[in-house]
């Protein structure tokens, strides 16, 4: 649907042809059942005519309108139509590599994968994809979407509270438990955005709460988005998907879309210069958020940065000095009266302290306290906390307002300033060591940035440690050498290093919960610090392939993308599929991949096929 900003006031009338079919198809056939639920809870209460239709029409109007607009760092403090910026992204199933392009959302994906995790790194467009999926589901009249930003869930606002407050289908006289009965109808798609943004101090509790909610409402479809997080292993019934990196032509299309919205035109020159320096900016072109930062920084100094850190620095300078591209030449005075350098020092303190607790959204009082704490550490600065708070969301829009709260405009901005704090700290080696040894996925993007900021320390502490672990692991494996080429043995050791893989052959599909339980029993160790993935293969016989990857494995993936000279590229030769060898495996026995030669996965005739499965 093509909606202009001017249309928002008359949105109800415009959205009516889209929303009415959903209400007629999904709500009206269940009115009697819904009314009976209300009567059971309160026999004195009489439900008004068209009560449910009106409530869900209002709800769908709200969520549909929200899904059509976004706020961006390139055009801060303004709403932009998603369709004007969106370059269709593709999600890829982690094991089968099946691809789904998220334009007109293919709802049949849920026929095969009714519970999905989209896990990828900072800036790959996870939240944007969920907005597009939400709008597309409504436009196709397929389901009623419920989009929950998980950063809003805390000890005072449960997942049930959040869903209740969004749908709000009943009067205050009815309790929230009716939500569960509504969700029993099974025609909802529940989209849970930003699992990685749940604060550390509440993550365990909220994870249990989410798991319980999903079990109680399991006949609906679910999508969770997150950066890589070890706690995702809790959701073993979910299928893991990644976002396909942008192709070069898609990056150029995004630049053109940004340029169409800008008062000052730089797109043609930027694309021409990027084409001359493709190797220099290759990493940035694959990431939608970094492409937008590239555009933002180019509008500021007409130069293409060679490093990710330089990107963020130039974007910060642009936001501080003249941030609004939608209003040519417009600048706002800084209420705090701090210059660009002093303002950044305070920001670094705030970013580091808030990243430690894993929070990106705050009440005004909480943020004022963080500002006051940073001010105490920098006593030479004279400013009012309230003035700095106002600068954050208006004159230097590093933050965005969300209702009565304030949040980082993007989590990677928080990571950038936190990394700068560490880099400028007198005990940076100690801090980097603690972060690395914590094993927390939450710090992965900060470590990525520290690779550029503190390369010598990164090599000394992190790369050296991973290599030492690898050497020790390599020397401990296959003490009795199998009768196989050494390159296949070396490949197996490299694939399994800092990971755990399990194969489970079954006579029929048993569900991911039971498969994961078998996996956990096979591991018999604490899974903290590992991220899980699983896939079911509809072969004859069928089998489950499960894996868990540690933070070290994720760091190795980043180092490979940066062309760190640690890897030997191996061409993938065509080989027999693992399913052709399944007769070697017993039914319902979880096989944890190790170096025991008597196990079927280490037999010479199957060894290479198993390697191929692990590579996938």
- State the Cα–Cα distance between residues 298 and 292, nearest whole angstrom: 10
* Range in 26-40, 328-342, 435-449 with the lowest mean pLDDT: 328-342
Are residues 152 and 300 located together in one domain of the fold? no
* Range in 43-52, 154-163, 224-233, 471-480 with the lowest mean pLDDT: 43-52
User: Could you read off the pLDDT of 326-337 as tens digits, one per residue?
Assistant: 444 445 678 999
Q: Is there a domain that residue 406 lies in?
A: no
**Is 151 within 8 Å of 407 (Cβ atoms)?**
yes
pLDDT > 70: what percent of the chain?
90
Which residues are bridge partners to 532 per DSSP? Answer: 548
The per-residue pLDDT for 325 is 46
Q: Is there a domain that residue 373 lies in?
A: no
Q: Which domain holds residue 532?
A: 486-615
**Is 266 within 8 Å of 259 (Cβ atoms)?**
yes
Are residues 287 and 162 located together in one domain of the fold? no
573 pLDDT above the threshold of 50? yes
The per-residue pLDDT for 332 is 60
Are residues 285 and 236 located together in one domain of the fold? no
Q: Is there a domain that residue 407 lies in?
A: no
201: CB partners within 8 A, 6+ apart: 357, 358
**Is 74 within 8 Å of 395 (Cβ atoms)?**
no
Quick one: average pLDDT of 156-184?
Answer: 77
The per-residue pLDDT for 271 is 93
Are residues 156 and 284 located together in one domain of the fold? no
Q: Is there a domain that residue 117 lies in?
A: yes
The per-residue pLDDT for 371 is 97
**Is 565 within 8 Å of 482 (Cβ atoms)?**
no
- Among residues 258, 291, 322, the one where a domain terminates is 322
Between 543 and 136, the higher pLDDT residue: 136
The per-residue pLDDT for 530 is 42
The per-residue pLDDT for 55 is 86
- State the Cα–Cα distance between residues 448 and 440, nearest whole angstrom: 13
Q: How many CB atoms lie within 10 A of CB 605?
A: 10
Are residues 9 and 114 located together in one domain of the fold? yes
Q: What is the CATH number of the domain that holds 30?
A: 3.40.50.300
- State the Cα–Cα distance between residues 181 and 217, nearest whole angstrom: 9
DSSP letter for 509, please.
-
Q: Is there a domain that residue 384 lies in?
A: no
The per-residue pLDDT for 231 is 63
584: CB partners within 8 A, 6+ apart: 600, 603, 606
User: Could you read off the pLDDT of 600-614 as tens digits, one per residue?
Assistant: 999 999 999 999 888
User: Could you read off the pLDDT of 261-282 as tens digits, one per residue?
Assistant: 988 888 999 999 888 877 767 7
- Among residues 225, 243, 261, the one where a domain terminates is 243
Are residues 235 and 257 located together in one domain of the fold? no
Place of tokens 């009943």: 170
Domain count, the chain: 3
Q: Is there a domain that residue 36 lies in?
A: yes
The per-residue pLDDT for 38 is 72
User: Could you read off the pLDDT of 292-344 as tens digits, one per residue?
Assistant: 888 888 887 788 887 889 888 988 888 887 644 444 444 567 899 999 999 99
Between 131 and 522, the higher pLDDT residue: 131
Are residues 119 and 39 located together in one domain of the fold? yes
Longest CA–CA span in the chain (Å) reads 79
pLDDT > 90: what percent of the chain?
47
Q: Is there a domain that residue 474 lies in?
A: no
Are residues 172 and 276 located together in one domain of the fold? no
Q: Model confidence at 576, in pLDDT bands (50, 70, 90)?
A: low
User: Could you read off the pLDDT of 14-32 as tens digits, one per residue?
Assistant: 889 999 999 999 989 888 8
Cis omega (within 30 of 0) for bond into 504: no
Quick one: average pLDDT of 69-80?
Answer: 83
Judged on CB neighbours under 10 Å (0-12, 13-18, 19+), 377 is exposed
Candidates 195, 189, 89, 187; CA nearest to 134 is 189
Place of tokens 């101090």: 201
- State the Cα–Cα distance between residues 452 and 418, nearest whole angstrom: 14
Q: Model confidence at 502, in pLDDT bands (50, 70, 90)?
A: confident
Quick one: average pLDDT of 228-248?
Answer: 82
133 pLDDT above the threshold of 60? yes
The per-residue pLDDT for 531 is 47
The per-residue pLDDT for 47 is 66
Cβ burial 529-544 (10 Å sphere, 16+ → b, else e) = bbbbbbbbbeeeebbb
The per-residue pLDDT for 424 is 97
- State the Cα–Cα distance between residues 209 and 235, nearest whole angstrom: 12
Are residues 48 and 122 located together in one domain of the fold? yes
For 281, the 3-state DSSP assignment is: coil
DSSP letter for 228, please.
S
Quick one: average pLDDT of 435-451?
Answer: 92
What token pair was written down for 260? 């169409």
Candidates 421, 409, 402; CA nearest to 349 is 421
Q: What is the mean pLDDT of the chain?
A: 86
The per-residue pLDDT for 61 is 93
- State the Cα–Cα distance between residues 482 and 467, nearest whole angstrom: 24
Quick one: average pLDDT of 484-507?
Answer: 92
Are residues 20 and 138 located together in one domain of the fold? yes
Q: Model confidence at 535, in pLDDT bands (50, 70, 90)?
A: low
Cα 4 from chain centroid (whole Å): 29
Q: How many CA atoms lie within 13 A of 301 on its CB side?
A: 16
Are residues 156 and 267 located together in one domain of the fold? no
Candidates 375, 445, 455, 381; CA nearest to 423 is 455
Q: Model confidence at 9, in pLDDT bands (50, 70, 90)?
A: low
Q: Is there a domain that residue 545 lies in?
A: yes
- Among residues 199, 226, 243, the one where a domain terminates is 243
User: Could you read off the pLDDT of 204-232 as tens digits, one per residue?
Assistant: 889 889 999 999 999 999 999 998 776 67
Q: How far is CA 557 from CA 127, 233, 444, 569, 590, in A?
A: 23, 19, 11, 13, 27
**Is 167 within 8 Å of 182 (Cβ atoms)?**
yes
- State the Cα–Cα distance between residues 108 and 112, nearest whole angstrom: 7
527 pLDDT above the threshold of 70? no
537 pLDDT above the threshold of 70? no
Are residues 223 and 289 located together in one domain of the fold? no
Q: How wide is the angle at C-alpha 35 spanned by C-alphas 29 and 40, nearest 5°?
A: 140
């Amino acid at each position: 649907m093509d909606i202009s900003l001017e249309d928002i006031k008359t949105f109800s009338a415009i959205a009516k042809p889209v929303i009415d079919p959903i209400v007629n198809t999904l709500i009206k056939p269940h009115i009697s059942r819904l009314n009976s639920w209300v009567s059971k809870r309160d026999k004195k209460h009489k439900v008004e005519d068209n009560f449910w239709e009106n409530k869900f029409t209002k709800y769908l109007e709200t969520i549909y309108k929200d899904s059509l607009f976004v706020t961006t760092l390139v055009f801060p403090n303004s709403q932009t139509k998603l369709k004007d910026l969106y370059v269709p992204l593709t999600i890829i199933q982690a094991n089968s590599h099946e691809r789904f392009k998220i334009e007109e959302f293919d709802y049949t994906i849920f026929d095969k994968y009714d519970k999905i995790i989209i896990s990828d790194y900072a800036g790959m467009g996870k939240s944007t994809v969920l907005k597009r999926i939400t709008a597309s589901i409504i436009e196709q009249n397929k389901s009623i979407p419920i989009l929950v930003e998980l950063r809003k869930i805390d000890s005072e606002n449960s997942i049930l509270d959040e869903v209740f407050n969004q749908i709000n289908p009943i009067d205050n006289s009815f309790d929230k438990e009716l939500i569960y009965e509504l969700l029993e109808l099974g025609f909802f798609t529940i989209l849970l955005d930003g699992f990685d943004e749940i604060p550390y101090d509440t993550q365990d509790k909220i994870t249990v709460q989410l798991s319980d909610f999903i079990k109680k409402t399991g006949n609906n479809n679910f999508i969770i988005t997150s950066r890589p997080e070890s706690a995702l292993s809790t959701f073993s019934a979910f299928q893991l998907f990644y976002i396909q990196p942008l192709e070069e032509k898609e990056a150029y299309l995004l630049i053109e879309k940004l340029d169409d919205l800008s008062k000052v035109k730089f797109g043609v020159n930027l694309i021409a210069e990027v084409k001359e320096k493709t190797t220099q900016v290759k990493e940035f072109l694959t990431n939608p958020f970094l492409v937008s930062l590239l555009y933002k920084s180019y509008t500021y100094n007409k130069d293409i940065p060679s490093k990710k850190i330089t990107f963020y620095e130039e974007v910060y300078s642009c936001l501080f000095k003249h941030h609004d591209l939608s209003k040519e030449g417009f600048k706002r005075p800084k209420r705090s009266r701090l210059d660009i350098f002093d303002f950044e020092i305070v920001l670094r303190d705030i970013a580091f302290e808030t990243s430690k607790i894993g929070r990106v959204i705050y009440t005004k009082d909480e943020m004022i306290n963080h500002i006051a704490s940073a001010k105490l550490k920098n006593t030479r600065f004279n400013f009012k906390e309230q003035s700095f708070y106002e600068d954050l969301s208006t004159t230097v829009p590093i933050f965005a307002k969300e209702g009565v709260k304030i949040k980082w405009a993007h989590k990677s901005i928080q990571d950038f300033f936190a990394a700068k704090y560490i880099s400028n700290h007198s005990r940076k080696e100690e801090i980097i060591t603690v972060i690395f040894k914590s094993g927390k996925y939450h710090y992965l993007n900060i470590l990525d940035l520290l690779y550029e900021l503190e390369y010598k320390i990164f090599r000394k502490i992190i790369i050296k440690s991973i290599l030492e672990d690898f050497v020790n692991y390599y020397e401990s494996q296959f003490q009795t050498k199998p009768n196989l080429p050494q390159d296949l043995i070396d490949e197996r050791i490299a694939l399994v290093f800092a990971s755990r893989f399990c194969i489970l052959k079954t006579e029929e599909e048993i569900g991911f919960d039971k498969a994961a339980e078998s996996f956990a029993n096979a591991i018999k160790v604490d899974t903290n610090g590992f991220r899980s993935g699983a896939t079911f293969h509809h072969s004859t016989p069928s089998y489950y392939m499960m894996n868990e990857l540690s933070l070290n494995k994720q760091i190795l993936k980043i180092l490979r993308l940066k062309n760190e000279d640690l890897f030997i590229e191996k061409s993938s030769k065509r080989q027999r599929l693992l399913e052709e060898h399944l007769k070697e495996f017993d039914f319902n026995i979880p096989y944890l991949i190790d170096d025991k030669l008597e196990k079927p996965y280490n037999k010479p005739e199957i060894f290479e096929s198993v390697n191929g499965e692990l590579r996938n």
